[in-house]
Amino acid sequence: MGVATALVRSAFLVNAVYAESSRAYGITAQQGQLLCVLMAQPYGMSELGAALGLAKSSLTGLVDRTARRGLVRREADPADGRAIRVALTEEGSVLVDEFYAATCRRMDELPLGFGEAERAQLAGLLGRLVLDNDVPVVFGDEVGSGQVPSA
């Protein structure tokens, strides 16, 4: 299997696991991604749009739906009184902690047939691919670091 085919098929595999976890928690995959981004800290709408790869109208709808569920709230940005940022509610924080842990367990099961050295090699290569291509922080070890997602 070539690199392109392997990457595309692995993306489908990861998306399926993510969707399965989301369904188990009664949220959509996009809501799960939003909550995972917000684990680190509240973000403004433009930062969230860049991190999630969503247009303003799509992001507004996602935040509206997630806010109606009581998982996020809009709040004034203390650095700019005209700006709004999105933050987790207490309920959202509890849900995302459980969702994140469950999704990590499911992802960790994907390479169960790999030995320790193979798992380390896979993590190293994929990590390098992500860093070399400036993939925004949406899900990962950086959660809680305060690192601002970049586009």
Q: Using CA atoms, how far apart are residues 106 and 22, in angstroms rounded to an integer? A: 12
DSSP 139: S
pLDDT in tens, 36-51: 999 988 999 988 998 8
pLDDT in tens, 71-127: 999 998 888 878 889 999 999 999 999 999 999 999 999 999 999 999 999 999 998
Q: Using CA atoms, how far apart are residues 92 and 71, in angstroms rounded to an integer? A: 4
Q: Using CA atoms, how far apart are residues 57 and 108, in angstroms rounded to an integer? A: 34
How much is the CA Rg of the chain, to the nearest whole Å? Answer: 16
Looking at CATH, the fold of the domain delimited by 3-132 is given as: Arc Repressor Mutant, subunit A (1.10.10)
pLDDT average, residue stretch 122-140: 83
Domain ranges within the chain, ordered by starting residue:
3-132
Q: What are the structure tokens assigned to 6, written together?
A: 């392997």
